[in-house]
Structure formats: C-alpha cells, structure tokens
Amino acid sequence: MSVLVLIECADGQVRKSSLETASYGAQVAQAMGTEAVGLVIGDVPVDELQLLGRQGMQKVYLCNNANLKDFVPGAFVKIIAQAAQTVNAQVIILANSNIGTAVGSRLAIRLGASLVTNAVALPEIDGNTFKVKKSVFSGKAFAEVVLTADLKIIAVKKNAVDIIEQEGTAEIATLNVDLAAADLIGAPQETIRATGEVLLTEADVVVSGGRGLRGPENWHLIEDLAKALGGATACSKPVADSGWRPHHEHVGQTGITISPNLYVAAGISGAIQHLGGVNSSKVIVVINKDPEAPFFKAADYGIVGDVAEVLPKLTEAAKALNR
C-alpha cells in the first residue's frame, strides 16, 4: 500500500501548490503507516525532483512523453491510473487546481474510487474510512465528507495546509506508459503562456484593481505595489470586460479562484461574485474611498481613501522594508 501524489510542474519546476500536496500526502502516509510516492508527468530535471524528499516523498516516478508538453486530460488519467496500480496506491492526492479538477472525477469513475475536492485539513482515519473536511459554498462554510471506497482521491485546496520540510532525497524512477491516439484527443494545438514575473495562480501576494483606478493609464499603481511586494497583479471583471487588462488576470467566481497569503483589493467594491473567488485568501486588505463599500465587511484590514493617493504610499513603505 502507498499514497500516490501527483506533482504538477511548470517550466521544469515544481509548483508551490504541489509542494503543499506532497507535504499533505507524506503526512497522510505517515498516519497510515505507509510510504508517500510522487508522480511527475513531463520534462523535469532529476535534481528538482530529488528535492521532493524534503516534503516526505520517498520515491518519485517520472513519466516523460514528447506528446505531453502540455496538459492532456485523457493521457494524464491513464498515466495516473497506471502509476496507482504500479505502487498499489490506497490514496491519491491531487492539488485542487485546473489539472486536479479535470482528472479527479475521471479517475474516480475509472478506478471506482471515493473523491473529495477542496480539502482543507488532514483526514480523520478510522480503519478504511476517511473523514475529510472541505470548503463549500465558495469558502463560506465547511463540510465533512466520508470516504469508504478501497481507493480514495483527495484534492487539496491551495494554501490550506502548511508545507512541512524534513531531511531527505527522493529516489527517482521511470514510468513508461503507452499512449494511443485516443488518449491524446484534446491536446492543445497552441499554448500562449501568461507573462509576468509571478504567476497569478502561484502567487503568495496578489494586488488587484477595479474600476476605482479610473482608467488603464493608472494601472502602474497596481503594478508598482505588486512588484514591491514580490506579488502578482489581478483585476475585477469590469476591468477585464472594459479591456483595461487581459481576461486571464480576472479573479472572482467567473474568473480565476485564488488563495494567496495576502490579497490587496484597490478600488473594488466587492460584489459577491468577486468575493467568491478570493475569500480564501489568508489576509484581505481593501482600499476604497467609499466607506460603505461591501468589500470592507470581508476585509481583515481596510483603508478608506483614494487609491491614487494610498497606493503610492504603500509602495514606498514596501520598498523601504526591502532596503
């Protein structure tokens, strides 16, 4: 028996969210008295994978196929299923990401497994039964799901668990899977990657702007603060719809859902759809000149003032801390 953890990588590096799932999987394995095994799909340097030993991975399987430079759901499901059989997995751990969401339900059907998504805590284990706490209703409440199948799949919400590091180096092994043409249906013909120093979905700090910026010519205020904090930039739906910013920066229920350690919302009123995509942030700071803005009710800290005056002062303060 073992715990299999899918490790997501980008540009040859392990994603932060997968460091969290690796640590989560190692803790589950320890509670079960078994080992945690990683699975990486794609071209990733061995040195990078060996470092997963720090998150408790005893062994990491690498499946590198020239047809899998990008995510292909059918192929990933086949590879994960074969890896689970190879290591006799009792539990499969995924990140609650675009990839995890796409493959989780498919794997559950294919393998006859129990599935829980948006997990925010380690499971309570009683024999073959797992009780897992998950986030529901866009983070407004929690539910406990009982998993009873022989194979269990848990998708872990980003930033919900701490990364516990230890000493160790993971052993690297090769996993070969024969992929048929049918497995590669849906492979992207072209991939246009988002530019920027920090990817929005992986950022610990996100600075976001709304219509309170008054126009795209003032967007440098958002970028300056994000750079000073080492974070990424985002925007509200009206900003993206107006063409001020590209749609891949739109966060909210109808855009990208994020869970950074710090979310700064400047000039955003806080419509329920926007809040639904960011309310899992550990700390929310709201800047708005309207003291009655709904977002203040969800904020940990609030600043009533004009963003054009407040943001430069915050940027200077952040720069001073880094000097």
| Domain around 144 | 2-184
pLDDT at position 122, please? 96
Reduced to 3 states (helix: H, G, I; strand: E, B; else coil), residue 278 is: helix
Rounded to whole angstroms, the Cα distance separating 50 from 289 reads 50
Query: Are both 169 and 243 inside the same structural domain?
Result: no
Q: Out of 11-15, 26-30, 255-259, 299-303, pick the least confident.
A: 11-15
Helix/strand/coil (H/E/C) assignment for every residue in 31-69: HHCCEEEEEEECCCCHHHHHHHHHHCCCEEEEECCCCCC
- Reported as a pLDDT band with limits 50, 70 and 90, residue 196 is low
- Short-list 94, 83, 95, CA closest to 59: 83
Whether 192 is covered by a domain: the verdict is no
For the segment 30-43, the average pLDDT, to the nearest whole number, is: 95
Query: Are both 90 and 34 inside the same structural domain?
Result: yes
Q: Domain boundary at 184, 210, 244, which?
A: 184
CATH of the domain at 226: 3.40.50.1220
Q: Is pTM beyond 0.75 here?
A: yes
**Is pLDDT above 60 for 299?**
yes
Q: Domain boundary at 151, 184, 217, which?
A: 184
**Is pLDDT above 90 for 265?**
yes
Whether 194 is covered by a domain: the verdict is no
- Reported as a pLDDT band with limits 50, 70 and 90, residue 287 is very high
Q: Domain boundary at 126, 155, 184, which?
A: 184
Whether 190 is covered by a domain: the verdict is no
CA 139 to chain centre: 15
CATH of the domain at 86: 3.40.50.620
pLDDT at position 224, please? 96
CB contact at 8 A, 174 and 86 = no
Q: At 7, which helix (H) or strand (E)?
A: strand 2-7
End-to-end Cα separation, the chain, in angstroms:
51
Whether 130 is covered by a domain: the verdict is yes
Provide the mean pLDDT of the chain: 92
Query: Are both 68 and 101 inside the same structural domain?
Result: yes
Whether 57 is covered by a domain: the verdict is yes
For the segment 179-192, the average pLDDT, to the nearest whole number, is: 76
Query: Are both 204 and 151 inside the same structural domain?
Result: no
pLDDT tens-digit map of 53-69: 999 999 999 998 877 87
**Is pLDDT above 60 for 195?**
no
Query: Are both 171 and 219 inside the same structural domain?
Result: no
Query: Are both 73 and 108 inside the same structural domain?
Result: yes
